[in-house]
Structure 1
């Protein structure tokens, strides 16, 4: 009798699980990737479909399919055509989104390659790409209809074989960090592994990553030579390094389960870059590589904004700032509605003078602007490479995104 009851219980459990899978409207055994071309300039902006591809099992959370973080300059929804129900959504940033803020945008037209990834839909869907308007509201930019039966298998480079640095559980219950080599020869494979291990240990030596180490899986992918064409001097900033070859990046990364991908350059020159939910890079042989790795990963993983002041091509200089979407920078239009107000101790003035350094407040100078933008604390890794800790607001923001991937 006990055996029969167990079988009945198992059947009920499995039936509930399968029903839940059907209700979700997606198949987690595969990942759909939508590649597209993002073109624009002063004359307008356009998006054109490139390809719909099939990758391996969905590596991210199977419960947090709808994004309520309000992060990113862009946002996309996957909508089931039969029921009009949103199956998946996610915010992100892009190279195009940064490029359109620099002077070159007003005089030329450029095209960037981008990708959207989501669990494989069980039926035809409509993908809606949205962009923030001047009031920070998401407005539709592009819509495409997709039939899953038309997707092609993604080409996996035959030399690609990921290796584990450490694993703490199934991919869909962890943040899966993938580190890809760039500019390492076959003979330098050991150097790449050593560089990756060193940078990862630096990351997990500080909070909140130290306390959340068990929520991560970390893999490396050794690739011969410079297959991603990472380049410095992006947007005229010498230290800013990114790859424009999104297709190559995604095809390589598809050989492993990943949520976040960072490229390790075999380079001693100072530099790196990071874009929310897209990519990050670091010159792994530079003496400041540990700092850059952590700083750029925070852009990529949590959408954190830069908290420093400096001359960059995408500083607006505008007297009135739009409220940034980044969780650690504010235009402080209304001090009573400060987005991290709950962390400000009673009696702390807002805006906050430097005499209150060490406390959470609103310190002027952030997002490359000396005036009109404010950061949570006087010092943070997102503001200076001489600082070795994240401020409390940044720590909370990182924890919230880790939860999104793991709970």
Structure 2
């Protein structure tokens, strides 16, 4: 039996007005575009390749301040319209960039898979992925056009069973917390659910979660290892 792995997706939704092109009616559908990239290289060089694109129903990320960054990472993903207006930005730091600082990276080249989720656009957009070094200098960059009509953007299939443990409201207005059954066998799902309930109880026994319990959806992803 393994430990419960928790994946928290922060859903920032509200009635306030965001910056330019923030409404779903403007540029994106209520769908998610999954972008799979390969980051590769060694300690001295790096390259970025687009692997594939897939889409799924519903957009569960932020819906305001979409062109702003909360934190600066070692990389950024930017969605812009064809005139250059920034629509969405996301920062990240990757295992590949950590690996580049290891001794192994001075001897061999390796590649790492990276997945990013962005709102599915209604019209063609340009997506730019930028990597920076520890001095904030650009070390790698890729820009590619995404046309939502592209037949190579395949629909994603839900591969694992999941269920709500607490569901006070729609994910567009709540924060989703997903418990993933990492390390649990198929015959241990009842144990997994009990562990989830214990984790929920522990989380909601402390502020600010206690007084904001109705702002969280809790989901169990029953994915046996």
Give me the TM-score of the superposition, normalised by structure 2: 0.80
- Quote how far apart the aligned CAs of 1:129 are: 1.0
- Secondary structure of the residue aligned to 1:171 is coil
Deviation at 1:187, TM superposition (A): 1.5
For 1:91 and 1:63, the matched residues in 2 are separated by 16
Preserved CA contact (<8 Å) 1:60 1:174:
no
Structure 1 residue 223, shift from structure 2 partner: 1.4
Closer/same/farther in 2, CA of residues 138 and 170 from structure 1, 3 Å limit: farther
1:186 Cα deviation (Å)?
2.1
Name the structure 2 match of 1:128: 128
How far is 1:222 from its partner? 0.5
Residue of structure 1 equivalent to 2:106: 106
Aligned to 1:236: none
The verdict on how the C-alpha distance between 1:200 and 1:141 changes in structure 2, with shifts beyond 3 A counting, is farther
Distance 2:126 2:86 in 1: 9
Alignment match, 1:21: 24
**3-state SS in 1 of match to 2:112:** strand
CA RMSD of aligned residues (A): 2.2
Instruction: Check conservation: 1:38, 1:111, Cα contact below 8 A.
Output: yes
The offset of 1:217, in angstroms, is 1.4
- Of Structure 1 and Structure 2, the greater strand share is in 2
Is 1:186 the counterpart of 2:189? The answer is no
Contact (CA 8 Å) 1:75, 1:138: kept in 2 or not? no
Partner of 1:119: 119
CA contact (8 A) 1:26 1:87 kept: no
- The aligned counterpart of 2:203 is 203
Q: Aligned residue pairs: how many? A: 202
1:39 touches 1:109 (CA, 8 Å); kept in 2? yes
In the alignment, which residue of structure 1 is the partner of 2:33? 32
Distance in 2, matches of 1:209 and 1:118, equals 28
- For the 8 Å contact 2:43–2:101, the answer to whether it is kept is no
Where 2:184 maps in the other structure, the secondary structure is coil
Does structure 2 conserve the Cα–Cα contact (< 8 Å) formed by 1:128 and 1:140?
no
- TM-score normalised per structure 1: 0.46
Structure 2: gaps (5+ residues): 1-21
Separation in structure 2 between the aligned mates of residue 209 and residue 32 of structure 1, nearest angstrom:
31
**Distance in 2, Cα, partners of 1:114 & 1:132:** 16
CA distance in 2, matches of 1:168, 1:61: 19
Deviation at 1:43, TM superposition (A): 4.2
Greater Cα shift, 67-76 or 214-223: 67-76
| Greater helix proportion | 1
Quickly say closer, same or farther: Cα 1:67–1:212, change in 2 above 3 A.
farther
Task: Show the counterpart of 2:63.
Answer: 62
Structure with more contact order per residue of length (Cα contacts < 8 Å, sep ≥ 6): 2
Deviations 1:329-359 (A, max 9, x none): xxxxxxxxxxxxxxxxxxxxxxxxxxxxxxx
Which structure 1 segments of 5+ residues have no match? Answer: 1-18, 227-407
CA distance in 1, matches of 2:73, 2:211: 26
